[in-house]
Amino acid sequence: MTLQDHLKPSLLKNPLIVALDLDDDKKVLQLCDDLQDIAGGFKVGPRLCLRYGKPLLQRIAQVAPLFIDNKYFDIPNTMESAVLSSFEAGASLVTVHLLAGQPALRRLAELEQQLNRVRPFKILGVSILTSWSEEDYPTPFTPEPVSKHVRELIKMGEQAGLTGFVCSGEELSLAGDSQKYFIVPGVRLPGDDVQDQKRTLTPKLAIERGASGLVVGRPIVEAKDPRQAALDYSMAWVESSFKA
């Protein structure tokens, strides 16, 4: 396996996705400027989307590939509209909940094909949040291991036509293959604070197990030196790619 096996230039500049989990647009844009030569892309969620809207998203997308992580979960028509709006705001990646079910996922897979005729775009199905463990399931969930739920949800998404997914690094070896595109949140260097993440993995192990993108937020954006922190994470996946 070579470094190029992990580069997806049509979607990301490299596997490191910096999660901009902040509320200040000036700090966000400063981080984008400081990290644009290191980050493979930038991830934003509802807090920035709702606070600043499309103008900020478009500015971020001009710097590096934009990942809008709002985890859409609604009736099929509403999910389609939300995904299309994200695309129009500049997103290269967007998340939806696999729990939305087959009818919604099939329509989203068709929409993804249409949008890819315009520019590279990937819809990512979210399986089980990395902040969950078996003890945190909502009441209707059957008391099965997280890995089983992840496998079943990804299988359903694949049958609907999706090829991009989000899951923790722990489930990659169970759910992944070379035909799927996996984004892994909860990535931490050895010794880093895992905060509210329940299922974490190092960049090295995530890459070795087949991750296409690694999401890192607070360890970078809250660091005293965000640029050095981003370099530390970047070097971790580069080294693991050459050793793999």
Q: Which residues are catalytic?
A: 71
DSSP secondary structure string, 132-172? --GGG--TTS-S--HHHHHHHHHHHHHHHT--EEE--GGGH
Q: In Å, how far are 95, 125, 134, 135, 197 from 18, measured between CA atoms?
A: 16, 19, 28, 29, 16
Q: Is 9 exposed, middle or buried (0-12, 13-18, 19+ CB in 10 A)?
A: exposed
Who contacts 227 (Cβ-Cβ below 8 Å, separation ≥6)? 34, 35, 38
